[in-house]
Structure 1
Amino acid sequence: MPAANPKIPSKSSLRSSSRPVSTIWMFSHECAGIAQAGGLGEAVAGLSKTLALDSKLDVSVFLPSHGRHLDPGIREAYGLQDLPTFIAQGYRRGSNGLWYNYLAGMEKGSREGVNYFLAKGLDSATGKWLDDPVIYDHEATFEKMSLLARTLESYVEYLIAMGRERELPGLIHAHDWHMVPAGVLVKQRLRERGVVVPLVFTVHLLSGVALSWHYASEDWCGIRDAPYSLRTNGKRGSTLRYSQIWRDLSRNSLEKFGCYIADYVTSVSHAYLTNDVRNYVGDIIRGKSGHIYNGCDWNPATIESSIISDEFEETEPSLVDHPIKRWDLREHLLTKAISKIGEKSVAEDPSGHHEDSRREVEPVEAFRSDGPLVLMTGRLSPQKGVDLLLDAVPIVRSVISETKFLLFLLPSNDSDLTKRTLEKAHKYPDNIRVIFGRNPSIYLLSHLSADVYAMPSRSEPFGISALEAMVTGNPVVGTSVGGITETVVDISTSGESGTGILVPPENVAKLADSLVSLLTIMQLDELSQHGKEDRAVASRKIPLPPIAKMIFENRNLGSKLRENCRDRVLKKFRWTNAGQMAIKRYSEARLLAAKTLQK
């Protein structure tokens, strides 16, 4: 308990009850706009914003500061201010038997209807961890998780002691395994005070991380080894201590433990939840699980207007005098714009180093000529399948020699993987550019310029990048795994209402055939808009027979696919859609949590 905080009322002073779901506390290790290393941060920010603005809920996001409260730009953008009357103070007992003091505080700000709380160190020992700018680093990550849990425990006690119970959460939404200790601890403390608050746990990407009970326990993260009544399929089951659930049932897995204690478990797609997550955690989520899609709020018209203003009005004003076509954007991107990437870009560290510590990007050589463009974005990791796309390049190139491949990748800590990737890419200097960095303007321009988007992932919980591709008019060639099967509609089976092609995972030949088929569709459509016909393209053998038939019947199929892509995202995958799904899950969680009051 923080020494400087007022005395906490006894349990009897708080009536045992469940609270309405109008105040949401989001727990996350990262959040776009403040500290982000991947898609998790985008998901938390997008969902929080729509719940606050569209659903009019009181939403607060809690995360470690990662030192971002020291950034003047972030302080101003979020109006960050220190909470002067709040201190989290105490000690943790290590597995070595030594005691470690901590002294933490919080910065509070708000933006676009959402409140943000950043846990920070108030002494050097605590600040060493909470304020470390590296978002993901093995030792620092676990320290941040523990100290955030302790800080939130103290904040709950502080609000109760100050008579500000109305500010307590009506629901806790813990995002990914990093937030299991904080989510369980706050739920436990509130229950001890007679307040039943539903805990929703979202698995964004399975990690399989396992730690000893000591880490979660009252010695370190703060979870008391109290009795807990398990419920299966909504029915009361056995009563076990938290340590038993951790060790015996969860086998030390943070994700399994989170699924046992949470009132409701979600993931970002139905396929990932029912296949990957359930296969890992077992039937413990049966009767208390559902999916909440991610979303994409990109506005293609706004992006295009901004890109034209940034890229063309000064350098090529003659193009602005007539409607700029997609092929104009592509030629400018490939033969001119990408050469500017090294001037303003920074290479983003995969562990999430703050911008000031990022290294500059190597200059990128522009292509000597235009050509049909395949775009890929994402982390350089085996999961994303960059190697599979590079293996498909010579096959595609043998059919459409002028094809360009533009890969925007977040770099990897695996130097061997980086080396192998670059070695493969350098074999085709006329066809491939790999870019470790993300100049925002060029990144968006690439989406407006591409013909096809490649997503050869070996696994994919959801894949926001597919939405970004489709909303900017790019049909997707993606593997039939996880969330990709729910965002991409396969034209091979759905005909002209499709948005791309699904291929079996790790099948390079099918990946290449699908790229050739879609590229041909887009080339024929472009030629038709030009009022031209290229016999070489027109006579090209399409590897996929169903698609060959569609092309024969409709030379403008490419435009139809682009329209389908945009419409699918705009109608089904905006953040407002995700917010509505979340509210439904929250209601289910509240009903399940309320059953804990029943004897």
Structure 2
Amino acid sequence: MKKILFVTSEAHPLIKTGGLADVSGSLPKALAELSQDIRILIPYYQALKTFGNVRYVCSLRIDNRSVNILETRMPESHIPVWLVDYPTFFNYPGNPYVDENGNAWENNAERFALFCRVAVEIAMDRVHQDWKPDVVHCNDWQSALVPAFLSLEDNRPKTVFTIHNLAYQGLFPASTAATLNLPGQLLSPEGLEFHSLLSFIKGGLVYSDRITTVSPTYATEIQTPEFGYGLEGLLRHRNHVLSGILNGIDLEHWNPESDPLIAQTYTAQTLAEKKANKAELQKRFSLPVTDGVPLFGLIGRLVEQKGIDLILDSLPAILEMPLQIVLLGSGEKSMERKLMSYAHLYPEKIAVTVGYDEALAHRIEAGSDVFLMPSRFEPCGLNQMYSQRYGTLPLVRRTGGLADTVVDAVPQTLNDNSATGIVFDEATAGSLLEAVKRAAILYGNPKAWEQMQINGMSKDFSWQQSASQYLDLYRSL
């Protein structure tokens, strides 16, 4: 049994802004089910939901500050969650990283450096809880200074650092190093310096024993200039300790057989029942109720990363085809406006809801025939896995986790029953349009379509799969 300290800035259902929270909520549970002794460390934000009693563990003096450690539990599990309680830094309303106007909190460097120092004290068992981890598993820039600080300790635990999205690096002015009182031996271009800035994420990339990211393809992509954001040289230099492990999905929460949020439950054996969800979705969005045309769904942030610009550029041609589109998301205001104007012009063809609505997300996954996900880059992605589980064929660009989880419908894969979706290569409107045409043609072949649905529904995207790969990684240390 390994003792694992899992250090994260968010974890579902305690607090969530994105995919990191899903991983931090699910992976520790899957590891606990493999009989590992795991504890989660997270800042005690004002917006953090606690479950059950919160008890006091201990107090620490760090940089002349008094910090308390409190303990709660992950719901429906015995996993202890240690909360870093320092109201001056963490008792802010709303989002953990930005204010209500979307601007980063001015003292983010101080906040997360303190969080990292607390993690080090726990990792070295200087909190006198008689628990010293074998492995400290850190995630993204907010906890990336932990491997750097631990590199200065004798008899330290092993460290693993996971990149969930390399686009977010925790970059601050070089002068911040003095404010944070960082040890001089960490401050060099080989250490935390990055083009005369201070880079938190380099703490994880330079000093951890193992680096992972959330899909095998993304692990390769981040070693190239297109996806490396200036860190590709460092990642190539350390590629002997870099690997990609696909995220899993929550199979209980996303299960068409028992999903309470959808109009009609169904299985791979009762696929005809899925049509009731399509009809309900068409009604909900005031689209003509018909099974004669494919219904395309999209849920996500309306930003360029997600390929929304490719959709907008090809929409005039797409809307001439016999199909329907429903879309749920929010993001760049100009994209929201353009999509709304198409919905206004083509009310029989496209419907848009701006915002996020969990129940509606489930209904779109269950009711759509095709799920659109033409991302420019996608470290792992979850919706393409949810879609396959719901017998909805993902239409994706061949990048990151999308390349690793969706098998393109070509003659060979259609023959050997491995095809689960439609995949295109170039990030251009023309390539997307061709893929949409392919999907529409395939939809006209009910036998092939149903076989692809069954192929997707029988794939194993469980966290157990991912957790056992992480456990192998911990043991190899």
Query: Which range, TM-score by smaller chain?
Result: 0.7 to 0.9
Kindly provide the amino acid, as one letter, of the partner of residue 326 in structure 2.
L
Q: Which residue among 202, 209, 213 is the counterpart of 2:162?
A: 202
Counterpart position of 1:579: 467
Q: CA deviation at 1:386?
A: 1.7
Written as runs of structure 1 = structure 2, the 5 A alignment for 1:30-49 is 30-49=10-29
Task: Decide which structure has the larger Cα Rg and report it.
Answer: 1
Deviations 1:176-228 (A, max 9, x none): 1221123433x24xx63x322111111111125433455356x41x54234xx
Written as runs of structure 1 = structure 2, the 5 A alignment for 1:194-343 is 194-207=154-167, 208-216=169-177, 219-220=179-180, 223-226=182-185, 241-243=186-188, 245-246=190-191, 252-277=198-223, 279=225, 280=228, 281=231, 282=233, 283-299=236-252, 302-307=255-260, 311=263, 325-335=273-283, 338=284
Kindly provide the amino acid, as one letter, of the partner of residue 246 in structure 1.
G
Q: Percent identity?
A: 21
Counterpart position of 1:142: 109
Structure 2 contact 264–277 (Cα < 8 Å) conserved: no
Q: CA deviation at 1:384?
A: 0.3
What is the SS of the residue equivalent to 2:251?
Answer: coil
Q: CA deviation at 1:454?
A: 1.0
Q: Which residue among 415, 426, 441 is the counterpart of 1:505?
A: 426
In structure 2, relative to structure 1, the CA distance for the partners of 1:117 and 1:418 (3 Å cut) is farther
Kindly provide the amino acid, as one letter, of the partner of residue 19 in structure 2.
G
In structure 2, relative to structure 1, the CA distance for the partners of 1:120 and 1:519 (3 Å cut) is farther
Kindly provide the amino acid, as one letter, of the partner of residue 134 in structure 2.
G
What is the SS of the residue equivalent to 1:31?
Answer: coil
Name the CA distance, whole Å, in 1 between partners of 2:96 and 2:193.
31
Structure 1 contact 375–453 (Cα < 8 Å) conserved: yes
Structure 2 contact 373–397 (Cα < 8 Å) conserved: yes
Kindly provide the amino acid, as one letter, of the partner of residue 369 in structure 1.
V
Q: Does 1:107 align with 2:107?
A: no
Counterpart position of 1:486: 404
Counterpart position of 1:343: none
Q: Which residue among 116, 140, 160 is the counterpart of 2:126?
A: 160
Q: Which residue among 463, 471, 482 is the counterpart of 2:389?
A: 471
What is the SS of the residue equivalent to 2:58?
Answer: coil
In structure 2, relative to structure 1, the CA distance for the partners of 1:494 and 1:109 (3 Å cut) is farther
Q: Which residue among 318, 321, 331 is the counterpart of 1:396?
A: 318
Q: CA deviation at 1:83?
A: 1.5
Structure 1 contact 82–107 (Cα < 8 Å) conserved: yes
Q: CA deviation at 1:299?
A: 4.7
Structure 1 contact 452–515 (Cα < 8 Å) conserved: no
Counterpart position of 1:522: 443
Name the CA distance, whole Å, in 2 between partners of 1:212 and 1:323.
56
Q: CA deviation at 1:374?
A: 0.5
In structure 2, relative to structure 1, the CA distance for the partners of 1:301 and 1:464 (3 Å cut) is closer
In structure 2, relative to structure 1, the CA distance for the partners of 1:574 and 1:161 (3 Å cut) is closer
Kindly provide the amino acid, as one letter, of the partner of residue 56 in structure 1.
S
Q: Which residue among 387, 397, 416 is the counterpart of 2:309?
A: 387
What is the SS of the residue equivalent to 1:83?
Answer: strand
Deviations 1:103-133 (A, max 9, x none): 43233122323221222225xxx15x45442
Deviations 1:398-429 (A, max 9, x none): 231xx2211221x32x4334334433444322
How many positions carry a matched residue from both structures? 451
Counterpart position of 2:30: 50
Q: CA deviation at 1:456?
A: 0.5
Kindly provide the amino acid, as one letter, of the partner of residue 199 in structure 1.
T
Structure 1 contact 457–505 (Cα < 8 Å) conserved: no
Name the CA distance, whole Å, in 1 between partners of 2:193 and 2:92.
35
In structure 2, relative to structure 1, the CA distance for the partners of 1:181 and 1:425 (3 Å cut) is farther
Name the CA distance, whole Å, in 2 between partners of 1:562 and 1:300.
19
Q: Which residue among 26, 42, 53 is the counterpart of 1:63?
A: 42
Name the CA distance, whole Å, in 1 between partners of 2:257 and 2:412.
29
Q: CA deviation at 1:242?
A: 4.4
Q: Which sits farther off after the overlay, 479-488 or 102-111?
A: 102-111
Written as runs of structure 1 = structure 2, the 5 A alignment for 1:110-125 is 110-111=73-74, 112-122=77-87
- Listed as ranges, the gaps of 5+ residues in structure 2 are 99-103
More helix by share: 1
Name the CA distance, whole Å, in 2 between partners of 1:271 and 1:442.
30
In structure 2, relative to structure 1, the CA distance for the partners of 1:244 and 1:372 (3 Å cut) is closer
Name the CA distance, whole Å, in 2 between partners of 1:449 and 1:494.
28
- Listed as ranges, the gaps of 5+ residues in structure 1 are 1-20, 92-101, 227-240, 314-321, 339-364, 526-555, 591-599
Q: CA deviation at 1:518?
A: 2.0
TM-score, reference length from structure 1? 0.69
Name the CA distance, whole Å, in 1 between partners of 2:347 and 2:440.
20
Q: CA deviation at 1:269?
A: 1.5
Counterpart position of 1:17: none
In structure 2, relative to structure 1, the CA distance for the partners of 1:560 and 1:303 (3 Å cut) is closer
Counterpart position of 1:86: 59
In structure 2, relative to structure 1, the CA distance for the partners of 1:249 and 1:327 (3 Å cut) is closer
